[in-house]
Structure 1
C-alpha cells in the first residue's frame, strides 16, 4: 500500500488554526487511511492509502479538514521517495554552522509559471539564497528564518501557488519516520 506524507500549511502557528495531533490523527483515520502517525505540532502526517493519485488524496483531506474544523488548510502531499529525492538533489549540500547557515525546503502545490519564477528572481536577497527545482524551493538561510525575506508567505505571493515550508531536520525526520513505519531500516 502506498505511503504518503501530508504537510499542512499554517496550523498551530501564533495561536491560529489550532489542531491537536491526536485529533489530526483521528481525522486521517476517519478517512480510512492506515498506519497514521504525526510528527511535531506543525502538521506533518504520515499515512498509507490505497489511493494512487496524490491530488485526490489532497482534495479529500482538505474537504474533511474544512468539514470537521471549519477552516481551510492547504495540504501538500509527497511520498517518502519524493522527499528522499529532495534531500539528494539539494543545491546546498553543506552549510556553514559557524555562520549560522540553515537549510529549509518550501514544498509547492503546483508548478509556478515562468512569469511567477521571474517575479521571484527579481526579488533576490543579499543575505539568503534560494533555488527552485520543479515543485521545490530550496532555501539557504544565513541569519534567522523568521527574519528572512523568503518566508513562506513571500514565496506563495511571488509564485502564486500554495506552499508550506519545513526545516531540513524535519524533512529528514519525515523520511526516517516514513521508512521505519514501513518496516524499512
Structure 2
C-alpha cells in the first residue's frame, strides 16, 4: 500500500495596515489583529509594534486577495475601513536591497519607505523640485518610495510635500521607518 503525502507550500507575508492606532483613532489591538489573521486561515501569525504590522504565512500567492480579505475582516470586526497592503518576503528583501541611500550608515528615523498598492509613474512627482528640499531626498522604487530625512520625519518639508493627496490619488500608500522595514524583512525571512 502506498501513501501519498501532499505538501502545501506557504509564503511568508507582511501586512501593512494604514492609519491605525494613531491618536486613539481606528484602534486595532494587535492581539485581535493576530486573531483575525489566524481566523482567515493564516499561520505563524505575529505582530510588530502597535502601528499595524503583521507577519503571517499563507498558501495563497495573491497579495491583493489577502489584503482584501483582511480589510473585510477588519471592517466586520471593528466597524471601520482600513487600507491594507500585503507584501511577500522576497519583495520586502528586494526593497531593502534596492535602497538607494546608505541605510547601514543612517539612523532608522532618517530613512523611510512608503509602500504603494501599485507602481507610481515618475511623472506624478515632476512638480517637486528636489533641490528645494536638500539635504532631504527621495527616490522612487518598485511600488515604493525611499525618503531620506536627516532630521527625521516630523521636521521634514519633503515628507510634507510628498503627503499631498493629489500626488498619489487612486493609490494606497503607507510609510514605515527603516527600523521597521529591517524588522519586517527579518520576520518574514524565517
Q: Which residue matches 2:114?
A: 106
Q: Which residue matches 2:183?
A: 173
Aligned-residue offset at 1:101: 7.2
1:122/1:128 Cα in 2 relative to 1: closer, same or farther (>3 Å)?
closer
Question: Does the 8 Å CA contact 1:28/1:36 hold for their aligned counterparts?
Answer: yes
Give CA-to-partner distance per residue, 1:39-74, whole Å, 9 cap, x none: 110111101111111111111111111111111111
Alignment of 1:148-159 (within 5 A): 148-149=156-157, 150-151=159-160, 154=163, 156-159=165-168
Alignment of 1:89-168 (within 5 A): 89-94=98-103, 102-120=110-128, 125-149=133-157, 150-151=159-160, 154=163, 156-160=165-169, 161-168=171-178
Report the count of equivalent residues.
Answer: 179
Structure with larger Rg: 2
Kindly indicate whether residue 22 of structure 2 is the aligned counterpart of residue 16 of structure 1: no
Gaps of 5+ in 2: 1-9
Aligned-residue offset at 1:12: 0.8
Aligned-residue offset at 1:148: 1.5
Give CA-to-partner distance per residue, 1:125-154, whole Å, 9 cap, x none: 234110001201001012121121315971
Q: Which residue matches 1:30?
A: 39
Secondary structure in structure 1 of the residue aligned to 2:95? helix
Moved more, 124-133 or 59-68: 124-133
Aligned-residue offset at 1:174: 1.2
Alpha-carbon distance in 1 for matches of 2:160, 2:73: 27
Alignment TM-score, normalising by the size of structure 2: 0.84
Alignment of 1:53-64 (within 5 A): 53-64=62-73
Gaps of 5+ in 1: 181-185
RMSD of Structure 2 on Structure 1 (CA): 2.5
Aligned-residue offset at 1:179: 2.2
1:34/1:128 Cα in 2 relative to 1: closer, same or farther (>3 Å)?
same
Secondary structure in structure 1 of the residue aligned to 2:126? helix
Alpha-carbon distance in 1 for matches of 2:22, 2:138: 24
